């Protein structure tokens, strides 16, 4: 019995030590420099540097944001939805009325929520060969 208690204490200490060392450095791999949130233009330049050819840009503002799961619709100026919970974004674009964008292909580094009234840009790109086209909804600081 005496040895069983010592064994249990040593086993618990070993498990605790293993847990602490395996979680070290398990934070996010995306790093944004402190004090600088990239602008829309800087994010578009990042697309260009990533090998995309910019075809068109339409500047818009967010009219509403639908949240995944709850069905909450942010529609009043200043209301927001966390970036990871966006189901659909409705935009107002002066150049061509209203557009609806889904959650994929949203570039939004340096922030945690998409707000009603926030400016953004729909960027249509092609790959280097011109084989396929993709739309990005680009936000910035």
Span 8-41, pLDDT tens digits: 445 444 444 333 333 333 333 334 455 678 889 9
Burial environment of residue 51 by CB neighbours within 10 A (0 to 12, 13 to 18, 19 or more): exposed
Q: What is the pLDDT of residue 108?
A: 67
pTM of the model: 0.68
43 φ/ψ angles, rounded to the nearest 5 degrees? -70, -35
137 sits in which H/E element: strand 133-138
Contact predicate 52/126, CB 8 Å: yes
Q: What are 108-127's pLDDT values in tens digits? A: 655 678 899 999 999 999 98
């Amino acid at each position: 019995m005496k040895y069983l208690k010592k064994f249990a204490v040593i086993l618990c200490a070993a498990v605790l030590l293993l847990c602490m060392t395996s979680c070290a450095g398990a934070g996010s791999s995306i790093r944004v420099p402190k004090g600088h949130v990239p602008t829309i233009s800087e994010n578009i330049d990042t697309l260009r540097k990533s090998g995309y050819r910019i075809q068109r840009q339409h500047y818009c503002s967010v009219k509403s944001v639908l949240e995944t799961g709850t069905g909450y619709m942010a529609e009043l100026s200043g209301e927001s939805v966390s970036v990871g919970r966006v189901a659909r974004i409705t935009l107002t674009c002066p150049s061509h009325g209203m557009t609806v964008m889904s959650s994929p292909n949203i570039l939004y580094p340096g922030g945690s929520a998409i707000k009603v009234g926030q400016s953004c840009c729909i960027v249509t790109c092609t790959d280097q060969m011109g084989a396929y086209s993709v739309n990005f909804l680009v936000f910035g600081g």
